[in-house]
Amino acid sequence: MSFINYGQREINCKIVYYGPGLCGKTTNLQWIYQRTAPEAKGKMISLATEQDRTLFFDFLPLSLGEIRGFKTRFHLYTVPGQVFYDASRKLILKGVDGVVFVADSQIGRVEANMESLENLQGNLAEQGYALEKLPFVMQYNKRDLPEIAPVEELRELLNPTHHPDYEAVASKGIGVFDTLKAVAKSVLTELKRGAGA
Amino acid sequence: MNVVMYEDELNQIQVVVDKLVRDANARVVCIVDKNGQLIAASGETENLDTTSLASLIAGTIAAMGGMAKLLKENEFPTQFHEGVKANIHIQLVGNRVILAVIFDSRATLGLVRLRVKRASDELNTIFEALAKRIPHGSDGAPFAEITDEDIDNLFND
């Protein structure tokens, strides 16, 4: 649910990074934070456990520039990926404008990816969203590890409707900004479409 | 459905927020939408990361809302957190926005509560009028002019 502020000429949108535990959602945001110019970002907030596992959410505000005289700001959030934090994930999804699903490419995590995707679909449905109608980008992360599933297989299982998808190694920044640009573009395009333009 | 804020209403909200800072002897007053966007702020905000604060305030209200559902309550509309040097009073206003007041020893909780009640009534009037101004709750006007090229240019390095 975008926030359009005519008074301050701002368009504010919310993007949520979703995925199973330890898939790389926080790593994506950390990379974006480290590589974004200071004037284009705010502080990154991470509500995490002592073991650095996301407890509630990570938050990173970004300014992407001006479009028709309106400053475009994106608020990036990650959800906690561990299964038992589902109640928190539902809260973070409220008002979402676009979703990035970060899939863990390791063969041993394929099932976890599918369960997390199903969880996302269910939580979105509870709030009246349909994943098929929401700006959505799939990221196949950890492509540098051994014993990973082929992208074609992951695509068939996780992205059968062919949303934009990107291979990534978030710990090295590979694919991180491509993913972000894709979802941000998709959000703005959808907002434009929704305005009947 | 987008949330829209026009200049008139923003100015009216700013007046309420500025007055609340004075009347409650507060350090900072902010209005945050339930999705974590800062709508207005007043007071000693120069060295305060109001963007992060807004997100965290909304997260707190969202977490308490989740807890309320578990306890078969509608909401916990009021929260108060007491610190050593600063305190924060958070009030859900009309289930639309969050009014947060940060105060120190220059104010008392009783005074803040009293002033928040009045400010909440004023804010409710403003938001009701805003809702009537946009009957379907959505205004996509800035997006109507945006072209695909505009969007592409935003992402060109």
ipTM, 2 dp: 0.82
Domain count, chain A: 1
- Is any Cβ of chain B less than 8 angstroms from the Cβ of A197? yes
Taken in order of first residue, the domains within chain B and their CATH numbers are 7-152 (3.30.450.30)
Host domain of residue A134: 3-194
Q: Which two tokens stand for residue A188?
A: 């703005």
pLDDT of residue B156: 65
pLDDT of residue A114: 97
Task: Answer yes or no: do B66 and A47 touch at CB < 8 A.
Answer: no
Q: Which two tokens stand for residue A180?
A: 């972000």
pLDDT of residue A131: 86
Q: What is the CATH number of the domain that holds A95?
A: 3.40.50.300
CA distances to A15, A137, A168 from A172, in Å: 21, 19, 9
pLDDT of residue A197: 46
pTM of the model: 0.90
pLDDT above 70 (res B134): no
Contacts of B6 in chain A (CB under 8 A): 6-7
Identify the closest residue of chain A to B141 by CA–CA distance.
A195
d(CA B28, CA B53): 11
- Is any Cβ of chain A less than 8 angstroms from the Cβ of B3? yes
- Is any Cβ of chain B less than 8 angstroms from the Cβ of A145? no
Pairing of strands A54-67, A70-78: antiparallel
* B residues 89-118 lying closer than 8 A (beta carbon) to A: none
pLDDT of residue B95: 80
Q: Helix (H, G, I), strand (E, B), or coil: what is residue A55? A: strand
CB B105 within 8 A of CB B17: no
